[in-house]
A and B are shown apart, each in its own frame.
Chain A
Amino acid sequence: MSRHGYKYSAGRLLRHGLTRDAWPRMWRRPERRDSYDVVIIGGGLHGLATAYYLAQNHGITNVAVVDKGYIGGGGSGRNTAIVRSNYLTPEGVAFYDRSLHLYNTMATDLNLNVMLSRRGHLTLAHTDSALRTMNWRAEVNKLLDIDSAVIGPAEVKRLTPSLDVSPDTRYPILGALYHPPGGIVRHDAVVWGYARAADHLGVHLLQETEVFDIICDGGDGPDGKGSGGRVTGVRTSYGDIGSPVVVNCTAGWASLISNMAGVPLAITTHPLQAAVTEPCKVFLPTVVVSGSLHVYVSQTDRGELVFGASVDPVGSYRVNGTLEFTEELAGHVLELMPGISKMRLMRQWSGLCDMTPDYSPIMGYTSVEGYLVDVGWGTYGFKAGPVAGETMAETIATGRAADLIAPFTIDRFTAGDLVGEKGAAAVGH
């Protein structure tokens, strides 16, 4: 990155500490242009990563990332930051594995410490059918060279001593899918790293700019939208911006944006909630997920437990959160770790998830020329951000869908060829 901007390092930290000089901005507040080669709607991880790889890998720098709020204010700023690649289907595994590779070198690639912590990821099985699914995943993973195996209760206990593995609990832990390279990452830093790098390469980050409409022409729907048409730009709270290519990276809001182009989606938006406790001395070394109990938990370096669950059953755009989420969460966490009942929950929040019928994304070209989607990220899109950005950039630059995203086309629903992640991803994270 040194070719593009200010490089961070221990030496720099030392120098700034001694001189007390101000640090430079990580990104600018750019002057908006009237048109760009590519407009990306959504300044979350996916939008920013797409912009970065367009500039970095393909030299396309006349790009704007437009967000109605602040960067990372959507799902990217409110997710529980679990990364892993032990998916169920070969297509899923290949895709997420590439992402994990990009995470591995991200700190140096982006010159920002994203605090990747590959601390090991455990998916607990409490029933024999869950155990069978774990086996299924492990076996597929091994064939694809992913470090993943089913382990027994004793090994679970060794890796994570605070778990109650005794056989007489209501939901005994029969075993777990263990994925050593899985872990967590500092989610905001990932967003800022891409934002900073993209900005240095010339990309415009237009924050607090809301897209109200997509301007189309020639389509079979009203106002030239819909199948057969093409995109000419977007209408925003600061006026129109022209662009032959518009990419929808708005996750929870994906349907609203896509409907603006006349392209309906197989998506419903559901809130997904999360919560943190007050900090306590670190005692939980791994990431623990329990599908049957609908809960996952990890402990941050600051000592808070970060909890998540499955999406709210009722579709909604409301992020207020519910009491029942915290009640169920606490009940389930205490079944796993009865000893932490005196920890206190300090904050709950929620984000929007763009759920597809097969728990897999929708990526690539659509029936409207120049309008591309990178949506349907549901509850698992953070870990996919880097590879989604890389493949979307390739798709835009080459005019042809990248190989890795071929299974995720929008057409698969009309073709009846759904992706088989449905079984494993429901509470997978």
Chain B
Amino acid sequence: MSSQRLPTRAGELIDRSTSLSFTWNGRSFSGHEGDTIASALAAAGVEVFSRGMKYHRRRGILTADHWDPNLSVQVGDEPNVRAGSRRLVDGMQVSAQNAWPSLRWDLGTANQLVGRFLSAGFYYKTFMRPQFLWHNLYQRILRKFAPGGRVHWKTGTHGDYDKRYAHPDVLVAGGGPAGMAAALSAAEAGASVMLVEQEPELGGHLRWGGPDDLTVLADLREALYSTPGIEVLCDSIVTGRYDHNWVAVMQRSHPVVPERLIKARVGSLVVAPGLVERPYVFAGNDIPGVMLAGAVRRLINLWAVKPGSRAVVLSANAEGDAAVADLESAGVAVIAVLDARAGEDIVQVRGRGRVASVQTGDGRTLKADLLVTATGWSAPTSLLNMAGDRPVYDKVAARYFPQSLPDNVLATGGIEGDGSTAELAAHGRETGALAAQRALRLRHERRTQTARSVRPESTPPASVPDNRIPLRRSPHPECYRSTTHGLVDYSEDISSKDLIQAAGEGFDSIELMKRYTTVTMGPGQGKLETVNAAAVLAEVRALDLADIGTTVWRPPFSPVSLGALAGRIFEPVRRSALQDWHEANGATNLLAGQWVRPDHYGDPMAEATNVRENVGLIDVTPLGKLDLRGPDVANLLNLVYVNRWQKLEVGRVRYGAMVTEDGVVSDDGVTGRLADDHYLMTTTSSGAGAVWEMLEDWLQTYRPDWEVHVTPVTGGLTSINVAGPRSRDLLERLVEDVDLSADAFPYFSVRTGTVSGVQDCIIWRIGFTGELSYEIHVPSGYSLHVWESLVSSGSDLGVAPFGIEAQRILRLEKGHYIVGQDTDGLSKAPTAGLGGLVKLDKADTIGLPELRAAFERTDLPVLVGLQPDDPTIVPEEACQIVAAGSNEILGRVTSSRMSPTLERSICLAQVDPSLASAGTSVTVKLVDGRRITATVQEHHAHVDPEGARQRV
């Protein structure tokens, strides 16, 4: 390998004063700042960069840019890095992919020998039997040959990415002359502008042009950086345009994060991506040394790399002609220039690791190590397609053009047509001005509609018609395939022969052809391949290319890392005001929805027993709490709960259950009346948000005449349940202004008072545990004080905190069902045992007709208390209840625990109505397969079914 670095070039990007060292397949190399990985390697004489996916043929530089299908490499733990555009960084460890054991000796090349049998879709036609061989052998082998790099999932972690929102009036995708000019004129028109260029520097194709191009570029760049209102983002790609101009930009080279996703709501999107040069299909077109004109121009002019020594050029356009000049200036012997415009052609290239000879259309064989093709352009219309456009093929210009774009998307530059640099810039300027106009109108409209904005004083800017002078479409020969077959899709190893075979088998629409052969399905997503593939199909079907269409472009425009898409992982968590205390006092946490809360403090059984014997404290802040005020609260309650609410007195609380319109139990809780027009509603912890939205819905859309204000107060009130036979004793020590005696403050009542000096606490006497208990709702800023006072003043009473697990045990002993656990998505009110609660004679209640229907049915499952006959066995929750002698399912255990109070296992279960009467023996199939018997109880409650303990 010898150095291919040329003497200094006028527009070179490399800084020769620097030296960056890196490794390639373990060997040390060096390059300069400004080099890409590929240019540094090419400068050092490296010619083979990868192997083909299927046949493992050697691959070299083809396009020398972001889209080069042969330049995917592994860099450290990052797979599939685009070596054609990724800038070199000191210390990079680069290695080849798709080659084993080495790039040089790749065993996969064996596939070349059997290549003729591996035609399109061959795997569909064999390995059918025996089936086990497919699974155990063939598939495993296939998976070994999967292409691409290696993810280091063992060591990798997610972390350092983040995102940003932006609201530019105009966003320009592409920083070539057209895009730069558009950005400038848009800013001059008063628009805020974001200019996004995927390369690390602005300029587009001007960068590798002649002295005139470089002068224009310098001037444009200067103007851009001196005009206010333009944010320039280089090394950043516009990766998607979504509905309503929601635009994704992937920013690289950010000083803080490796990649940042910018989500921009854009007034006008200007698409100026230029053109992508198209490869030519002929035999041997994947041999290293076959390059596109743009590739040799970039190599020579941007990185001062000599791409070969003896070149043949096939040129159909000015880019090819310019490549000839560049090659000669770089000291490459151009031994033949074949002019495709005059019908000249090449037929085949031969060579093993490198081009050795070129066979021309007129029968000559030329010795050369470089074949350069300039056979035309593909329009990267992807962003326009995402905006709803269906670009149309123009036979004369031999490429696609935009057809009809929405008002907020405009195209300029090469994608729109051809012209001199001045003409392209002029079109860009006009486009930028138009884009700004439209965006400013939109901004005016937005300001008018948005309450918080500064109201615009002026009338909206006038709408101006699109009077841009269109760019011309220069004629270009339709060069797609020579008379021989060659690769169409480099990353998928698909040849024109494969495509023709597929069409012959019936896959003769472009979409079916794609799916059968996988053409355009690789990492480049058809940037280079789509048009050639369509051209081959057009040839087979003897149709115009325009009638074939293309496959669908979909986001992203260029692949985006999962890390960048994820960004920061924002997972909000909610903590009660007491959560720090719990953690400091030994709590083991549990995540319940967004809430972090104590599951237990070490021994849940003991915590439960302490509640039965002494007094326990549990933080139930996540209970949904809604403050309801207004004269119509009772009407609202009557509507949303299945029971009746008109007669609830001030100072009383009541249990209520809710169903949805289909009669399925959806939430429950207690609601208390604090004053005439003032109530506090509680909901389940997980249902809090939904119930609030539901109340608003009924109030706003169904009964706007009702006067009710709903205020969520869940976090504002810390809820503490003080439960146990000694709870009154404890509270009496801390509550001054409320008479806690059984007569003055009976079960299911509410009082407002001062607890441990904290005023405005709401205390209600209810309980989920079945013991005498009080639920105190304390203003959260002071609730730690209250909690600590309860703990410290009750040490002689045996006060101790308890967690969710103890509460679950206690409530199960008491037979209280949990919505969503003991009921499911189909459980109607009768199943939950709400027969006594539901009032069917109301004029309106949510789900009323379904409630009526449900109570007429006799086939609905019934929730029952259940006890295994062997008291030591606790059937796992979700165990099935089956017919004794068969596998027929007759119900399931919905909750189960060992009861510390009864010292036996207890359950709630949903059973078939035939099994619901007390005393029925049922069969439960345990997880381990054993079948046990259990007996249906008379009540849901296993402990104190009469409720004596809570009424004391």
Contact = CB atoms under 8 A, between A and B. Distances in A.
Interface of A: 8-10, 12-14, 16-18, 20, 22-28, 69-73, 77, 90, 104, 107-108, 111-118, 127, 129, 132-133, 135-136, 138-140, 142-144, 150, 162, 170-171, 186, 188-189, 192, 207, 277-283, 301-303, 318, 320-323, 326-327, 329-331, 333-335, 337-349, 357-358, 416, 418, 420, 422-423
A184 B900 CA distance: 47
A207 B125 CA distance: 24
A342 B128 contact: no
B562 A112 contact: no
A117 B139 contact: yes
Given A136-B892, A277-B562, 12 more contacts: A8-B126, A13-B122, A17-B117, A22-B501, A28-B506, A143-B880, A320-B386, A323-B248, A342-B77, A345-B562, A422-B825, A422-B826
Contact of B129 (A27, A108, A349): A108
Contacts of A27: 506
A187 to B, nearest CB: 9
B477 interface: no
B322 interface: no
B152 interface: yes
B78, B155, B512 interface centre (most CB from chain A within 10 Å): B512
A322 B153 contact: no
B156 A341 contact: yes
Contacts of A138: 878, 927
Contact of A301 (B139, B248, B882): B139
Contacts of B675: none
Interface residues of B, number: 97
Nearest to B880: A139
A366 to B, nearest CB: 22
B167 to A, nearest CB: 15
Given A280-B79, A301-B143, A345-B562, A108 B569 contact: no
Contacts of B850: 416
B201 interface: no
A327 B262 CA distance: 12
B566 A111 contact: no
Contacts of A118: 135
Interface stretch (B239-247, B420-428, B939-947): B239-247
A320 B389 CA distance: 12
Nearest to B72: A278
Nearest to B77: A342
25 contacts: A22-B501, A25-B506, A108-B131, A127-B591, A129-B821, A132-B821, A140-B889, A143-B889, A143-B925, A162-B154, A279-B80, A280-B149, A280-B150, A280-B151, A302-B518, A323-B246, A323-B263, A340-B562, A341-B562, A343-B561, A343-B562, A347-B556, A349-B554, A420-B825, A420-B826
B79 A342 contact: yes
A114, A143, A340, A342 interface centre (most CB from chain B within 10 Å): A342
A8 B117 contact: no
Contacts of B123: 113, 115
B531 to A, nearest CB: 18
A12 B143 CA distance: 24
Contacts of B501: 22-23
A340 B624 CA distance: 38
Contacts of A142: 929
B146 interface: yes
A340 B80 CA distance: 13
Given A23-B501, A280-B146, A345-B560, A339 B157 contact: yes
A20 B116 contact: yes
B126 A115 contact: no
Question: Which 8 pairs of residues, A with B, have the shortest CB-CB distance?
Answer: A303-B146, A341-B563, A339-B153, A279-B148, A330-B565, A339-B156, A344-B559, A135-B878
B528 to A, nearest CB: 15
B889 A90 contact: yes
Contacts of B655: none
A340 B925 contact: no
A339 B125 contact: no
A331 B566 contact: yes
B821 A143 contact: no
Contacts of B879: 135, 139
Given A23-B501, A139-B892, A334-B562, A342 B567 contact: no
A26 B119 CA distance: 15
B494 to A, nearest CB: 13
Contacts of A303: 143, 146-148
Contacts of B523: 278-279, 344, 346
B156 A340 contact: yes
B685 to A, nearest CB: 12
A69 B552 CA distance: 14
B212 interface: no
B161 A341 contact: yes
Contacts of A331: 565-567, 569
A171 B512 CA distance: 41
B78 A342 contact: yes
B624 to A, nearest CB: 17
A360 to B, nearest CB: 12
Given A17-B117, A113-B126, A339-B157, A70 B509 contact: yes
B33 interface: no
Contacts of A345: 556, 559-562, 565
Contacts of B155: 339
Contacts of B878: 132-133, 135-136, 138-139
A113 B153 contact: no
B126 A9 contact: yes
B80 A278 contact: yes
Contacts of A10: 126-127
Contact of A113 (B117, B124, B563): B124
Contacts of B581: none
A132 B151 contact: no
Given A104-B131, A113-B127, A135-B878, A13 B117 contact: yes
Nearest to A163: B153
B845 interface: no
A238 B562 CA distance: 46
A171 B571 CA distance: 10
B163 to A, nearest CB: 8
B515 A188 contact: yes
B146 A282 contact: yes
A301 B143 CA distance: 5
B80, B124, B515 interface centre (most CB from chain A within 10 Å): B124
Contacts of A344: 80, 523, 559-562
Nearest to A73: B511
A23 to B, nearest CB: 5
B263 A337 contact: no
Nearest to A281: B150
A108 B887 CA distance: 33
Contacts of B135: 116-118
Given A133-B878, A341-B561, A416-B850, A334 B825 contact: no
B480 to A, nearest CB: 22
Nearest to A207: B509
Contacts of A418: 826
A281 B889 contact: no
A347 B565 contact: no
A343 B565 CA distance: 11
A339 B152 contact: yes
B136 to A, nearest CB: 11
Nearest to B804: A128
Given A73-B511, A132-B878, A14 B825 contact: no
A373 to B, nearest CB: 22
B79 A278 contact: yes
B877 interface: yes
Contacts of B157: 338-339, 341
A142 B824 CA distance: 21
B559 A278 contact: yes
B504 interface: yes
Interface string B156-176: 111101000000000000000
Given A129-B820, A279-B146, A416-B850, A334 B563 contact: yes
